[in-house]
């Protein structure tokens, strides 16, 4: 959980900075207040996405790992950004390759990924909108 949060958090921070740095030029026309609100919003959204994605990562792994598949790099088995794919199984550790359980297909794991990813993104967006609306009212 901590490793997921750190590595995925760093990736999300990089994406946030990639969005915020080009927007810094708009400070001249829109002011620091606008940029501060933008930066806070981007960071809030990414923190929500990180926390909810981390929780979903734990749930999906608990439900599927060892039952539906085995892999040797469990950190990146599931994220709400990248669909589950054969690349998860192709990683080897000590010459042993990951594999699907006998009665499981890659399509089934992708369907599970799609459901959890949709829940994470929907919950993130709904939470973000609720927080932003509460800030305007309060």
Cα separation, 135 vs 19, whole angstroms: 23
Looking at residue 64, what is its pLDDT?
A: 92
The count of domains in the chain is: 1
Residue-number span of the structural domain to which 65 is assigned = 2-137
pTM of the model: 0.84
Ramachandran class of 71: left when φ > 0, alpha when ψ lies in -120 to 50, beta otherwise: beta
Beta pairing class for 96-97 and 92-93 = antiparallel
Rounded-to-5 percentages of helix, strand, coil across the chain: 75, 5, 20
Under DSSP, the state recorded for 74 is G
Q: What angle do CA 67, 83, 74 make, to 5 degrees?
A: 50
Q: What is the pLDDT of residues 52-82, one digit of tens each?
A: 999 999 999 899 998 999 887 777 678 888 8
pLDDT in the model for residue 1: 66
| Structure tokens belonging to residue 90 | 């192709």
Strands (E), 4-126: 69-70, 92-93, 96-97, 99-100
């Amino acid at each position: 959980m901590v490793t997921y949060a750190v590595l995925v958090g760093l990736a999300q921070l990089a994406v946030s900075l990639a969005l915020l740095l080009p927007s810094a030029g708009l400070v001249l026309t829109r002011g620091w207040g606008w940029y501060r609100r933008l930066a806070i919003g981007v960071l809030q959204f990414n923190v929500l996405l990180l926390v909810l994605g981390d929780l979903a990562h734990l749930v999906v792994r608990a439900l599927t790992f060892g039952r539906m598949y085995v892999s040797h790099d469990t950190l990146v088995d599931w994220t709400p950004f990248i669909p589950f794919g054969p690349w998860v199984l192709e990683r080897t550790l000590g010459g042993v390759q990951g594999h699907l359980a006998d009665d499981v297909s890659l399509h089934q794991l992708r369907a599970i990924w799609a459901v959890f990813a949709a829940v994470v993104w929907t919950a993130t967006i709904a939470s973000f909108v609720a927080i932003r609306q509460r800030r305007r009212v309060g």
